[in-house]
């Protein structure tokens, strides 16, 4: 694991004029120019329907741009091409976990990379350690709680050692304890570039060093999370609330009495 100062600044993701519209519908992404450097932890915020999930599906090659270009680590994304550099954590784990035990599930990805057994074991052990789910190894994933399932899915992705991981609403349906566990380990890991869509702005504030505000298929703001989220007018103009932790105590007090 590299310290922040040693992270190389190669491009993890680059989009140029990225435009997408679902068949017969107006464009969802409108000429998006975006550059994410290796090692960045980028939060993507914005109202529902802003195009976050569409952007992620384009990154994974599930759908192809209507026009424009999208590159991962300097190589164009192609439909259906498996890119081991990219890991994806979906909002719902029910389709992501399918093996009889957690151990098998977390091993599945690295096994499919064709790694030898000892390497698979080492990676699985490491992923268990990072996510703190070692005690679940022998359990069937479908018997686990939502929070446990999410950590198992994350362990499975990390065991493949991707260079970039996309998280779609990672704190949704997590209780306070699991949310805290997720925050702690995301903050402690600096190996992967992260792209995280979330409505949980306090979470983005704690974990990310950059935030992109996406609305109506374009980037409305891009910068330091604290600076963007403290801008009440900007946030409200895009249907977002300034996070509570950024509201000065006096203002907070005033709100409580409204």
Is position 51 an interface residue for ligand ADP (rule: CB under 6 A)? yes
Asked if 48 and 198 count as a contact pair (C-beta separation under 8 A), the reply is: no
Q: Is 50 in the site for ligand ADP (CB under 6 A)?
A: yes
* Minimum separation from the CB atom of position 171 to ligand ADP (A): 15
Note whether 54 binds ligand ADP by CB under 6 A: yes
Task: Quote the DSSP letter at residue 93.
Answer: G
With CB under 6 A as the contact rule, the residue among 28, 45, 58, 70 that binds ligand ADP is 28
Estimate the crossing angle of helix 117-131 against helix 176-188, to 10 degrees. 120
Q: Is 254 helix (H, G, I), strand (E, B) or coil?
A: helix
Displacement of CA 208 from its chain's centroid (Å): 10
Region from 51-59, 64-72, 127-135, 187-195 binding ligand ADP, contact rule CB under 6 A: 51-59
Phi, psi of 168 (to 5 degrees): -100, 110
> Which residue in the set 5, 8, 9, 48 belongs to the binding site for ligand ADP (CB under 6 A)?
48
Q: Which is nearer to ligand ADP, 109 or 217 (CB)?
A: 217
**Which of these segments, 52-60, 151-159, 170-178, 219-227, binds ligand ADP (CB under 6 A)?**
52-60
Q: Which CB atom, from 47 or from 134, has the smaller least distance to ligand ADP?
A: 47
Nearest-angstrom CA–CA distance, 68 and 209: 27
Stretch that binds ligand ADP, among 31-39, 48-56, 96-104, 231-239 (CB under 6 A): 48-56
Q: How far is the CB of 190 from ligand ADP (least distance, A)?
A: 27
Among 2, 10, 22, 239, binds ligand ADP (CB under 6 A): 22
Question: What sign does the CA torsion over 208, 211, 213, 219 have?
Answer: negative
Number of residues that bind ligand ADP (CB under 6 A): 11
| C-beta closer to ligand ADP: residue 55 or 158 | 55
User: In which residue are the tokens 């192809």 written?
Assistant: 64
Q: How far is the CB of 49 from ligand ADP (least distance, A)?
A: 4
Which pair of structure tokens corresponds to residue 193?
Answer: 């570039």
Is residue 247 helix, strand or coil? coil
Given 3, 4, 6, 25, the residue binding ligand ADP (CB under 6 A): 25
Q: Which whole-number Å values give the CA distances from 33 to 115, 184, 212, 219, in the listed order?
A: 36, 31, 12, 8
> Which residue of 17, 37, 53, 234 would you call a contact of ligand ADP, by CB under 6 A?
53
Coil vs helix vs strand at 147: helix
Q: Report in angstroms how near the CB of residue 221 gets to ligand ADP at its nearest.
A: 15
The residue written with tokens 């949980």 in the block is 200
Closer to ligand ADP at the Cβ: 70 or 115? 70
Exposed / middle / buried, residue 31 (Cβ in 10 Å: 0-12, 13-18, 19+): middle
Smallest distance from the beta carbon of 7 to ligand ADP, in angstroms? Answer: 28
Rounded to the nearest 10°, the torsion over CA 232, 216, 79, 150 is: 40
Q: Which residues bind ligand ADP (CB under 6 A)?
A: 22, 25, 28, 46, 48-54
């Amino acid at each position: 694991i590299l310290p922040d100062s040693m992270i190389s600044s190669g491009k993890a993701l680059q989009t140029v004029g990225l435009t997408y519209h679902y068949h017969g519908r107006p464009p969802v992404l409108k000429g998006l120019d975006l550059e994410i450097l290796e090692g960045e932890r980028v939060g993507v915020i914005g109202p529902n329907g802003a195009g976050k999930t569409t952007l992620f599906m384009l990154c994974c090659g599930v759908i192809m741009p209507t026009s424009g270009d999208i590159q991962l680590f300097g190589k164009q994304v192609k439909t259906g091409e498996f890119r081991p550099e990219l890991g994806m954590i979906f909002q719902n784990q029910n389709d992501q976990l399918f093996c009889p035990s957690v151990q098998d599930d977390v091993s599945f990805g690295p096994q499919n990379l064709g790694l030898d057994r000892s390497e698979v074991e080492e990676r699985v052990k490491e992923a268990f350690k990072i996510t703190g789910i070692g005690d679940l190894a022998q359990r069937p994933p479908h018997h686990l709680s939502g929070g446990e399932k999410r950590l198992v899915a994350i362990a499975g992705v990390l065991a493949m050692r991707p260079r970039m991981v996309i998280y779609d609403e990672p704190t949704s349906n997590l209780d306070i304890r699991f949310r805290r566990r997720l925050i702690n380990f995301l903050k402690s890991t600096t190996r992967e570039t992260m792209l995280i869509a979330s409505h949980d702005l306090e979470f983005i504030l704690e974990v990310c060093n950059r935030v992109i505000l996406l609305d109506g298929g374009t980037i409305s703001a891009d910068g330091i999370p604290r600076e963007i989220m403290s801008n009440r007018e900007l946030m409200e103009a895009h249907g977002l609330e300034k996070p509570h932790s950024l509201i000065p105590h006096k203002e907070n007090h005033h709100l409580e009495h409204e």
